[in-house]
Amino acid sequence: MSLEKNKAIIRRLFEAENERDLVLLDQLMASDYIDNALQLRSREEYKQIQATVSKAFSDLHETVEEITAEGDKVWVRFKATGTHIGEYTGFLPSIGKITLAPTGKKFTMTGVLVYRVVDGKIVEKESWVYDMLDFYKQIGVVEYTEKVKKLLPKE
């Protein structure tokens, strides 16, 4: 497939997630899709995560800010916004899986994702980079200590 077609597939993925269109994911993703970031091994597992995230952050919106492709890889710089209005199960380093009651707090997150597209299907999310600690801070789960506040003053 052309690089432009691969980028279009990833843009459609973001649209499907924003529209909560889990059926469209069947068209965009391989059934044996691998998500290294979330440690998932199938499209169905990914759809389950998307349904859970939609309940926890019903206003979640992801915007593609920049996209580039080479070979079978597509890099996306994105921005996500939302409000934590439902129970959310996440992961904290050193602690592991956690379930969080709704906080009602808004968040904004930016990051980079790397996908692999083969024969018109997303087969893998190879890597991701975003600041989950800042996300947890924004929704009120993590607070800076006085020592950290001195080292990292608010902007």
Return the H-helix or E-strand segment holding 61. strand 61-70
Residue 84 or residue 37, greater confidence: 84
List the chain domain ranges: 3-142
- For the cut 90, the answer to whether the pLDDT of residue 56 exceeds it is yes
- For the cut 60, the answer to whether the pLDDT of residue 57 exceeds it is yes
- What's this model's pTM, rounded to 2 decimal places? 0.89
- Give the pLDDT mean for 32-55: 93
Q: Tell me if 116 sits within 8 A of 142, measured CB to CB.
A: no
Alpha carbon distance 101, 134 (integer Å): 18
Distances (CA, A) of 34 to 31, 109, 123, 127, 145: 9, 23, 6, 11, 37
Residue 93: per-residue pLDDT: 57
- Give the pLDDT mean for 45-71: 96
CATH 3.10.450.50 fits 3-142, yes or no: yes
**Least confident span in 30-44, 79-93, 115-129:** 79-93
Distances (CA, A) of 40 to 48, 59, 96, 127, 144: 10, 24, 16, 12, 31
- Give the pLDDT mean for 110-138: 93
Residue 94: per-residue pLDDT: 60
- For the cut 80, the answer to whether the pLDDT of residue 97 exceeds it is no
Q: Tell me if 75 sits within 8 A of 113, measured CB to CB.
A: yes
Could you give the dihedral angle defined by the CA atoms of residues 98, 46, 104 and 110, in that order, rounded to the nearest 10 degrees?
A: 100
